[in-house]
């Protein structure tokens, strides 16, 4: 239990609680627009950026963000060239990201870089600067989503109606990509590049089963994300398990419980 | 093509020698027509005739290869008054699992600056209630949109389009996948609005049967495979009509009293 009282664990807990808000919040917009795989693709690109940061010597989160942003613009561009085969662009960028990351890993071998930590998270190395960055991103995401909730709802629900009502649809698309890239780049240290997309999509999957309104669905994703991050970190801390993996398994357990509960409920009712 | 030349009614939509080609293939060439205030235009054509393309060009979702579109007399690139346009989409684009209530969908039709966290003013809620009442779906306000029947969903989308009391209502194949009886009552409602409200209609459809009776047997004009059926709401000499209803609130009671009368 001592681990829970230690400074690095408490920093991990604060960081986890911050991304437990933002990642599911951006995830619900991606999932509802059928763009679940974008989170996965951007995070693979961000892994390459984080690795490059380590090779150069600093700013892994910043490089992760830049790579994720570049990837989101590349996806848009490729999507236009292939039109009806849009998911092809995701496959290309995803493997491109991992390819770059593997090259940076070999370049950084002498710097005692551990590939595992990029893929599966290195939450216990969070510095105060990391936490301030996470706090900044969380506040920014909450303010922007709060200010544009009406527009984000309309564009998610019915993109055509949004354009006919004069909304700048492409501006909103870029906004969603940029915010998602931001959230992913701050999440990599906590859950790892391979597991970020779980934090984006599984809370949304839970909320689709439960929510009756859009407002409810937003509250449910944040609640599920928060509870899963806190439970996952505590379990990982006490039993000395990988933090990112534990959080994701807790999320999946929640989803299974909700599915089970719904089945039982519908049989009784 | 010119539909009536009397000066009392302004042009709402002007399509001026518009051509559109997609991957080197002409979808249509040099199409011109204008829609005047209080017209009802049926844009009819088979699948692939380019009617949805034309609609997307009119509302600015697609740029024509050449030619110009004007809305309310303004070139579309400068047009800003989007809240004067109501839009009813094809219903089959709706994802039935989408977590949104009927009320949230109708409120999303309100344009302009919103408050923080998507909050609405009391006036907004009043407008929403009026639109729901007018379409007779007020009991469904808290239901999830995907739980509704096709006809109910279409009324909700109509309520969303009407919440701003628009001057122009655009309907894109509004009755696809809806049974005959529901279609009929839907058209009855639209016809009533056309005759008694100061509203202009542009409806895209591939199914002529329903609106033939209202818009006439033969198209007023054709352009390629696109057919335009036109009906003005009244004779031009009776132009000055001052008993037009402007409020949504009384739409339903009016319709009901008409039915009884």
- Interface pTM, i.e. ipTM: 0.85
Place of tokens 């510095």: A127
Give A60→chain B minimum CA distance, Å: 32
> Which of A141, A149, A166 best probes binding to B when mutated, by most B CB atoms within 10 angstroms?
A166
- With cut-offs at 50, 70 and 90, classify the pLDDT of residue B4: very low
Contact B17, B66 (CB under 8 A): yes
Residue A102 CA, distance from chain mean position: 21
pLDDT of residue B2: 43
Of A147, A157, A164, the CB nearest to B87: A164
pLDDT of residue A112: 58
pLDDT of residue B100: 94
Residue B91's φ and ψ, nearest 5 degrees, are: -70, -25
| Tens of each residue's pLDDT in chain A, 269 residues | 677 778 888 899 999 999 999 999 999 999 998 888 888 899 999 989 988 888 887 777 888 889 999 998 888 788 777 767 778 888 899 999 999 988 988 887 666 566 677 777 777 778 888 899 899 999 999 999 999 998 899 999 988 888 888 888 888 888 998 899 999 988 988 888 888 999 999 999 999 999 999 999 999 999 999 999 999 999 998 998 988 999 999 999 999 999 999 988 888 87
- CA separation for the pair A32, A157 (Å, rounded): 8
CATH of B11-94+166-260, one of 3.40.50.300, 3.40.50.10440, 3.90.1150.10, 3.30.565.10: 3.40.50.300
pLDDT of residue B135: 85
Q: Which of B61-70, B112-121, B236-245 has the lowest mean pLDDT?
A: B236-245
Q: Across A160-169, A236-245, B105-114, B169-178, which has the greatest mean pLDDT?
A: A236-245
pLDDT of residue A230: 95
Check if A83 contacts B (Cβ < 8 Å): no
pLDDT tens digits along B194-253: 888 888 999 988 767 767 778 888 888 787 788 888 887 665 555 555 455 556 767 777
> Which of B60, B89, B108 best probes binding to A when mutated, by most A CB atoms within 10 angstroms?
B108
Give B105→chain A minimum CA distance, Å: 8
- CA separation for the pair A177, A219 (Å, rounded): 21
CATH topology of domain A2-262: ABC transporter involved in vitamin B12 uptake, BtuC (1.10.3470)
Domain ranges of chain A: 2-262
Give A48→chain B minimum CA distance, Å: 34
Domain ranges of chain B: 11-94+166-260
Residue B122's φ and ψ, nearest 5 degrees, are: -60, -35
Of A32, A150, A216, the CB nearest to B118: A150
Mean residue pLDDT across chain B: 81
């Amino acid at each position: 239990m001592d681990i829970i009282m230690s400074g690095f664990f408490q920093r991990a807990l604060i960081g986890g609680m911050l991304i437990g808000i933002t990642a599911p919040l951006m995830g619900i917009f991606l999932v509802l627009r059928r763009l679940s795989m974008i989170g996965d693709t951007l995070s693979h690109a961000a892994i390459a950026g984080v690795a490059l940061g380590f090779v150069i010597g600093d700013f892994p989160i910043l490089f992760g963000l830049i790579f994720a942003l570049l990837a989101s613009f590349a996806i848009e561009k490729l999507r236009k060239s292939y039109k009806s085969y849009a998911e092809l662009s995701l496959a290309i960028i995803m493997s491109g990201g991992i390819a770059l990351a593997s090259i940076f890993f070999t370049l950084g071998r002498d710097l005692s870089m551990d590939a595992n930590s990029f893929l599966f998270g290195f939450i216990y190395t969070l510095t105060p600067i990391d936490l301030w960055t996470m706090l900044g991103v969380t506040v920014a995401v909450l303010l922007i989503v709060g200010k544009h909730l009406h527009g984000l709802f309309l564009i998610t629900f019915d993109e055509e109606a949004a354009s006919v009502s004069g909304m700048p649809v492409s501006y909103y698309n870029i906004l969603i990509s940029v915010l998602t890239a931001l959230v992913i780049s701050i999440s990599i240290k906590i859950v790892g590049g391979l597991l970020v997309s779980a934090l984006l999509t599984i809370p949304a999957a839970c909320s689709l089963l439960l929510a009756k309104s859009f407002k409810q669905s937003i509250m449910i994703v944040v609640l599920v994300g928060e509870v899963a991050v806190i439970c996952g970190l505590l379990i990982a801390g006490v039993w000395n398990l990988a933090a990112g993996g534990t959080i994701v398994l807790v999320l999946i357990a929640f989803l299974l419980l909700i599915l089970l509960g719904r089945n039982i409920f519908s049989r009784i009712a | 093509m010119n539909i009536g030349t009397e000066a009392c009614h302004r042009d709402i939509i002007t399509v001026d020698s518009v051509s559109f080609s997609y991957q080197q293939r002409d979808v249509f060439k040099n199409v011109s027509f204008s829609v005047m205030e209080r017209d009802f235009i049926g844009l009819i054509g088979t699948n692939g005739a380019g009617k949805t393309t034309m609609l997307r060009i009119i509302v600015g979702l697609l740029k024509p290869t050449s030619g110009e579109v004007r809305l309310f007399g303004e070139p579309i690139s400068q047009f800003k008054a989007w809240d004067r346009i109501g839009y009813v989409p094809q219903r089959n684009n709706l994802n039935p699992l989408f977590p949104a209530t009927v009320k949230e969908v109708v409120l999303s039709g309100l344009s302009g600056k919103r408050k923080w966290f998507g909050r609405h003013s009391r006036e907004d809620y009043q407008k929403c209630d009026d639109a729901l009442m007018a379409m007779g779906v007020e009991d469904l306000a808290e239901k999830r949109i995907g739980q509704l029947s096709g006809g109910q969903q279409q009324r909700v989308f109509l309520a969303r389009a009407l919440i701003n009391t628009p001057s122009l209502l655009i309907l894109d194949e509004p009755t696809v996948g809806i049974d005959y009886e529901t279609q009929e009552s839907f058209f009855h409602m639209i016809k009533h609005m056309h005759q008694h409200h100061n509203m202009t209609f542009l409806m895209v459809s591939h199914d002529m049967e329903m609106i033939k009776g209202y818009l006439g047997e033969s198209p007023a004009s054709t352009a390629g495979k696109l057919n335009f059926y036109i009906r003005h709401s009244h004779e031009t000499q009776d132009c000055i009509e001052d008993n037009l209803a402007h409020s949504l609130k009384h739409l339903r009671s009016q319709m009901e009293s008409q039915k009884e009368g």
